[in-house]
A and B are shown apart, each in its own frame.
Chain A
Amino acid sequence: MSFIFDHRPKQLISLIGQHVWWLAISSLILLAIGLGLSFWGSPADYQQGDTVRIMYIHVPCSWGAMATYFLMALISVWGFIKQLPLAHVIVKAMAPIGFCLCLVSLMTGSIWGKPTWGAWWVWDARLTSMLVLGLLYLAYTLLTHNGTSQNYKIAGFIVILGSVNLPIIKWSVDWWHTLHQPASIMRFAKSAIHWQMLIPLFVMAAGLACLSITLFLIRLRSELNYNRLIAQQIRGII
């Protein structure tokens, strides 16, 4: 984390310019391979049939939405402790990407639910806690949109308090009786999924992770440039 904070904004902008291209190309290659494997390189499920292929986009997006929020909470805490304004800029750059991942996770889950459960939506513990995560992302994005430093502080506290929701999402399927299936990959025992399905899942996860990092870096550059522009305008007025 200190790697980012050690740089000045101008250095950071040029560093992003150097690395964003190969990250973007890697994400496109990985997503193309992942899509090929998801559609043609993996078998249909013996019970769910072809609908199981939704898993290859739904699960990585859910992981991404939760991991992004976890990092946002961690960086917010770090920012408050060390009094780093850059921490809030980084968290602001991450929020819309996390929100999009959460939205895709909810939407693909809903589409998967219709042929599997017979309903687009149920007020299940996992689905509801994921919806709460989406609302937390939305609240943060709205609060920091053209916000003052006071808004950033309030939004930072919301992110930290909202991180309580992360273990609820993870273990909701164990704590309550839910329609959503229990964990089959991220669990202490051996994975319950065959390697033919695990490979496309991890390739898609890597592709989406690369895409998220690329978009985050572009967002961060935008935020830093926006702050430079505001600073220049203020200097011009003074």
Chain B
Amino acid sequence: MKQFDYVLLAYGASFLILGWAAWLIIQRDRKLRHLLDKLKKGN
């Protein structure tokens, strides 16, 4: 592996982890807000 390949691997893996975490956090937030809206409309 060349030096620059290690750099690309580090940045790629970092943004994959951070992006995946952000996606999970946003999805959970959306799901909970949707559930609360549904309950509010039901009442």
Contact = CB atoms under 8 A, between A and B. Distances in A.
Interface of A: 35, 49-51, 53-54, 57-58, 61, 96-97, 100, 103-104, 107-108, 111-112, 114-115, 211, 215, 218-219, 221-222, 225-226, 228-229, 232
Given A104-B14, A215-B22, A225 B33 contact: yes
B21 A111 contact: no
Interface of B: 1, 3-4, 6-7, 9-11, 13-14, 17-18, 21-22, 25-26, 28-29, 32-33, 35-36, 39
A108 B32 contact: no
Contacts of A108: 10, 13-14
Contacts, number: 73
Nearest to A50: B3
Nearest to A113: B6
A222 B7 contact: no
Contacts of B10: 54, 57-58, 107-108, 111-112
B32 A104 contact: no
A51 B10 CA distance: 10
A228 B6 contact: no
Contacts of B17: 100, 103-104, 107
